[in-house]
Amino acid sequence: MRVTRSPLLDDSLPSWRARLVLGLLMVGFIALAGRSLYLQGINKDFYIGKGESRYERVIDMPATRGRILDRHGDVMAVSTPVKSVWAIPEDAKLTPAQTRELAALLDMDSREVSRKLAADRDFTYLKRQIAPDVADRITALKLPGIHFQNEYRRYYPAGDVTAHMLGFTGAEDKGQEGIELALNNQLAGRSGSRRVIKDRRGQIVEDVESIRAPQEGKDVVLALDAKLQYLAYSQLKQAIADHKAKAGGIVILDAKSGEVLALANLPTYNPNNRTKLSGAQLRNRAFTDTFEPGSTFKPFAVALALDKGNVRFDTAIQTAPGRLTIGSATISDAHPHGVLSVAQVIQKSSNIGTAKIALAIPSEDMWTMFDSLGFGQPLKLGFPGEAGGRLRPWKRWRPIEQATMSYGHGISVTLIQLARAYQAFARDGDLVPLSLTRTESVPSVGARVYSQQTAREVRTMLEMAVQPGGTAPKAQVRGYRVAGKTGTANKLEGGVYANKYVSSFVGFAPASDPRLIIAVMVDEPSGGRYYGGEVAAPVFSSVMGGALRALGVAPDDTLKPLQVANIVPAREEM
């Protein structure tokens, strides 16, 4: 049989074609090898970064916030370790029973927990800052997708007693109010960071390295004295209850150093449990609330007149017939006094006597004196919402306005401003800046406002105001000479004076060598009494007596029994 050969087999391929295919294969291989070398050896950072992003994390290492201590080293605020519960919703497949058990431990509604676990996100907080023992109980449940994060929570041992002074921090342990906010930069420190490897469930499987060590916050030593703080708070609270008042405030200053030894306000709140707070509770009234100071302002105008030589301690002032018409307005005294010495004008708290003295002073000089005392501008101690009060430009004063401002109407101040201004009489005529933190040295000289002689003469007048025949015999302290002034002012509502009052008292002791200045304000007393001598002066007496004894200040008066219960205080003029 003859075999026929296909003609296609007789055609031979060109030799160059095989070489071309081989060359193309080699070029492709070299290109792949080069690309592999480029990606793995030269430009490797991009893919390494992509890989690391899937398993490597940089986590914050929180810094411990510094403690807040009182002047004796007692802890007022400290950060304690807590945990926050978070979840990966995709992994948190809980049964209804597990959800209810988790919600009960977190003190949450089970529907709220279910809503958070159903969220379309990779991460969600269930609850921040829970106690470690609660976290341990949740851990024991071994719930899928539920994780914990270490944090710190601020704890305030004194609770509501120091709430307005210390303030509080937020969920991120940053200052929100009070000292916590004012000195946040010093307390907060700086968080650090570490590089770790996590699995897809968020669990750390390897600690790679420390990037930056946390810088712990610094402790702050306050000027505050915890014993005086409690004394001031408790006495103010009792007065608010006794007089059915709306609110109140008290400030204690060291007359020599300007340190704020105590500051309390009511109503208050517990900074350890802020779930139900209102604006009224949060307000640090000593810094944020302004009021017309009433007769507590009279010594300032009288001191300026003494300094200028317009009057002397015993200059006679005619206050009869108990009324004084200025333009179209008439001011009056509650009781006609007739002729009074300048000292008696302060002792009896005469509006007419004070107004006559003030109207002889150029309005610019009077404004300059108010300004130098710190009125009309915040003290800038760092407290949020600190008010400056109202002090209108002197060029716009009418005579009636100058007269009423001399006895504390038509001008507004804060309690802390008023307390500081009385330094001028307690420190022989000068003022030093206030300090929230403990100072190592006592300022020798401050900014001078009055001459030494003037300050001492006014101090004597203020002593007379506390003695029988004055407006505040209930401010006396057994064993100590006390100097101070009452204030009672109607409240402005809608531009009209209402039948509501602010009662106040500002004073210092011992009068022979003043150590403490205390300012008390009671807002809207409604128990039938509203004069400063009846409402605020007794608070001053209790707090000043206890504070002087606690500090070991030697008495400067004979220890004769006080009979203030039988003394009817002179009615101060409003």
Query: Is residue 98 left, alpha or beta, with left meaning phi > 0 and alpha meaning psi from -120 to 50?
Result: alpha
Q: Parallel, antiparallel, or unpaired for β 430-431 and 204-212? A: unpaired
Is the four-CA dihedral 512, 513, 516, 520 of positive or negative sign?
A: positive
- What is the per-residue DSSP string for 538-562? HHHHHHHHHHHHHTTPPP-S--PPP
Amino acid in the structure at residue 44: K
Q: What angle (nearest 5°) sits at the alpha carbon of residue 436, between those of residues 432 and 439?
A: 65
**Cβ density class 101-117: b for 16+ within 10 Å, e for less:** bbbebbeeeeeebeebb
Residue 1 contacts by C-beta under 8 Å, 6 or more apart in sequence? none
Encoded tokens for 157: 């041992």
Angle at CA of residue 465, ends 452 and 354, nearest 5°: 75
Distance of CA 182 to the CA centre of its chain: 7
Which residue in 295, 406, 504, 541 is the catalytic one? 295
Beta strands in 377-495 (DSSP E): 430-431, 447-448, 483-493
Residue 553 backbone phi and psi in degrees, to 5: -75, 130
Spatial contact of 422 and 430, defined as CB atoms under 8 Å apart: no
- Let me know if 542 is a catalytic residue: no
Element (H, E) at 75: strand 75-87
**Residue 95 CB neighbours (<10 A):** 9
- What residues act catalytically? 295
